[in-house]
Amino acid sequence: MQFMQLRRPGCNVRNYTRPASLSRREELFDAGQPTHDTHPELLAPGEIMPGISADEFALRRQKLAESVPPGSLVILGAATIKQMTDAVPYPYRQDADYLYFTGCQQPGGIAVIDHRSGFSMFMPDPDPEKEIWDGRIADPETAVEVFGADRAYSTKQIPEILPYIIRGSSKVIYDTSSPKPLFWGLPAIQEAIQNSRTQSIQKYSHKLRWVKSPSEIQRMKEVADITCQAFLKTMSVSKHFPHERILAATVEHECRIKGAQRMSFPTVSAGGASASVIHYSRNDKQIQKESMVKLDAGCELHGYVSDMTRTWPVSGSFTDSNREVYEIVLETMKECFKLCKPGATIRQIHMESGLMLSRGLLKLGLISDLKSIGSSYRTFNPSAVGHYLGMDVHDCAGVSVDVPLQPGVVLSSIILSNLFS
């Protein structure tokens, strides 16, 4: 495939292009993230991320290019580094769309998918002084050799090259909710906004990410298995160490030693009445021996996350009243699992779960009649029954809960633990 030269006459543009046969260096080199050369125990030949091949990433970009309007330009930006203090950054997590279409886990770059030039990446130049402190990150040459870019440029060349591509495109598609500073300030972007030539990337990317490939399903099974094992270990220690902090530390420790890179959200370890706070994260109380505990936690493995909520008696033994409520919730969960099949929607499953729980609440005398479901039920459970899950905890938020489920869609089931508080 021939690509036109993306520069205006007179511009001095240095770029890396993909030759017919790549001349990889003989010695191992640091690409800023694991590769098969440096981590053969983690990645097979041809993989950019564990279990995800370069061919799959190329297919994702092809589907994206085919889904956007003809003549469109797609700009994907790496997540920016956020600072905790002036010298201490927060742990870095890549933007899900950028990661999904490039496989690059590092900051500082943008990717461009254009109908004329194919797949291009703008990456930081090597900085020996910065590498002393932070280590190597991918540069333009790595973008071609590792991530399969057709062309790669220095980020310093963005003002020279990107405006030319923008002005030659019918639509400019990027994350309009969180534009990246590397390109947001370009006059060409502002002109495109004023001329109504911009669209949100989520309109297209979420639809593609919503249905997982077999390799993605395998990654999600692995991260779910880690989470299940961590929960079982935490349950086993709760009787002897009934403190929210210790249970939170246990589940996080178990996830990390089993391979997870990070937790996918702040762990909720809530005893007794604290469980009524949906995103409770203080985790600082002693749990009374007669109380139930709610643990809401998840972890991330190679770009994919888990999200699990479970409730159990911290002492190991149910009181009679707790067992009654627990069995209602458990039966509701089992019935909702049966409803998770192609053609159903999350909204339908949620409504059925509300009806089943309300019947249980009526049986226990906690509500007076089923007509009061709308008000009374939400008093006991204000959250939804679940959500899409994938590279983000609330994955593909741009896909409506009224869209019929398809094979390959992954859901997180929220066990409705607020009933115990």
Domains and CATH numbers, the chain: 16-209 (3.40.350.10), 214-420 (3.90.230.10)
Beta-bridge mates of residue 243: 286
In whole angstroms, give the CA distance from residue 250 to residue 246.
Answer: 6
Mean pLDDT in order along the chain per 10 residues (421 residues): 39 51 56 95 96 97 96 96 92 96 97 92 94 92 95 96 94 91 92 95 96 96 97 96 97 97 96 90 94 96 96 93 91 92 94 88 79 64 88 95 95 57 41
- Structure token digits, residue 382: 């204000």
* pTM, to two decimals: 0.90
In whole angstroms, give the CA distance from residue 317 to residue 312.
Answer: 9
At 11 the pLDDT is 40
Beta-bridge mates of residue 174: 200
Beta-bridge mates of residue 89: 83
- Structure token digits, residue 375: 């008000």
Q: Which residue, chain included where needed, has tokens 């226990």?
A: 364
- Residue 129: which H helix or E strand, with range? helix 128-134
DSSP-derived 3-state class of residue 171? coil
At 421 the pLDDT is 41
